[in-house]
Amino acid sequence: MKTRNILIGFIAISLAACSGSETKEKISELAELKADFTELKKQITKLEKEIEEESGSKEGAVNVATKVITPETYNHYIEVTGKVKADENTIISPEGAGKITEILVEEGDNVRKGQTLAYLNNDALDTQIEQAKVNLNLAITTFERQERLWNQNIGSEMEYLQAKSNKESLEQNLRSLNAQKDMMSVKSQINGVVDEVFQRKGEIAGPSLPFARVVNIDKVYVNTEVGEKFLGTINKGDATEIYFPSIKKTVDAKIYRSSTVINDISRTFRVRINLDNKSHEIKPNLLTSVKLRVFSADDLIIVPSILVKQDFEGEFIFVATESNGKSIAKKQYVTSIFNSDNKTIISEGLKSGDQIITVGYDQIVNGTEIAIVKS
């Protein structure tokens, strides 16, 4: 028991000795840090003084930056999605029906209006045409003889008229058969490029079956829908900017026309913009982003929207003024009429030449002394 008490006492003395040693080390470390801190404060104070002297700021004044107000021209745009269309984008079909015997073009070929693209089987018509020619030759010969006899007052008028009528009827029949034969070929209705051939040789073609697509994209147009609230602000001849994301191309163009009817479901009206496309880089059905100007005015006072604050009396902006030889911040109440694109148009309260505070406005109140470090 005695030995145990001696051991406990020894441990307590050792712990006390260790604790005292650690405390001394901490005191020494604290003293060193305080010395370093004192030196840092001196350096900070020195640098602050040098900065104030270089910037021209005054002791107790808040450093701010300002901008002199000058009237500007303002344009406001909206962006809408559009799609490329082509007026001459046609599906070609034959007027008659029959089996395709020959195809004269391939996809990608340039064709002219009226050019034959394919032929259909017309053997039966050829036979009828040959027979009609034979019959017509006989009718012509008969009519010529009857006409000579009639001129000589020989024969009856009825025989002459029947011969004439028969000849004219057979001529009409031959013209009809030739017209039917002409319908047994497929012809292009426009100048353009064969974009796609839908049928192959040996297949049955007809008026209700598409044979090929022919497209002329020398001229295309962009269709877009615009909300009815912009009716009256978007007009024929207005400048637009069209961006094609897929081909990373931007084109400037003017509005060709806007529709006179409002879509009663979407509450939009259609705007058309014509484009020249000689390079054929712009393809039908490409999606576009169209920038349309919906507001424009000159000689406006425009400020960044972030500078316009509000209190119980209304909207205000801090401006820099002079009072008793000092620069101070003044709360200038204003009236705004438009706010968009992070810009606000001011109709009252500011004039050309006023200095608005653009940096440091969140550190001041009405009457705060300021030091303009950048203007």
pTM over 0.75: no
pLDDT of residue 148: 77
Candidates 3.10.20.30, 2.40.420.20, 3.30.70.1560, 3.30.1490.20; correct CATH number of 62-73+298-374? 2.40.420.20
Domain positions in the chain = 1-54, 62-73+298-374, 79-87+216-296, 91-213
Candidates 2.40.30.170, 3.40.50.970, 1.10.287.130, 1.10.357.10; correct CATH number of 79-87+216-296? 2.40.30.170
Distance CA 48, CA 40 (A): 12
Mean pLDDT of the chain: 83
pLDDT of residue 373: 85
Q: Are strands 192-197 and 72-85 parallel, antiparallel or unpaired?
A: unpaired
CA angle (309 as vertex; 306, 312 as ends), nearest 5: 160
Which of 83, 88, 89 lies closest to 244, judged by CA?
83
Evaluate whether 81 touches 288 at the Cβ level (below 8 Å): yes
Distance CA 357, CA 363 (A): 11
What are the pLDDT digits (tens) for 208-261?
Answer: 899 999 999 999 999 999 999 888 889 899 999 999 999 999 999 999 999 889
**Beta strand spans in 134-211 (E):** 185-187, 192-197, 204-205
Residues forming beta bridges with residue 296, ordered by sequence position: 75
What distance lies between CA 74 and its chain's CA centroid?
21
- Mind listing the pLDDT tens digit of every residue in the chain (375 residues)? 444 444 344 444 444 444 556 777 777 777 778 777 777 877 776 765 665 555 444 556 888 999 999 999 888 889 999 999 999 889 999 888 888 889 999 998 999 998 999 988 877 666 777 787 777 788 788 777 777 777 777 767 787 788 788 778 778 877 876 766 677 788 998 999 999 999 898 888 888 899 999 999 999 999 999 999 888 889 899 999 999 999 999 999 999 999 889 999 999 999 999 999 998 899 999 999 999 988 888 889 999 999 999 988 899 999 999 988 888 999 999 999 878 778 889 999 999 999 999 998 888 889 888 888 876
pLDDT of residue 223: 95
Evaluate whether 84 touches 286 at the Cβ level (below 8 Å): yes
End-to-end CA, the chain = 87
CA distances from 56 to 75, 111, 324, 329 (A): 38, 78, 18, 17
- Enter the DSSP assignment of 336: E
Task: For residue 227, count CB atoms less than 10 angstroms from its CB and return exposed for 0-12, middle for 13-18, buried for 19 or more.
Answer: middle
- Domain at 91-213: CATH code: 2.40.50.100
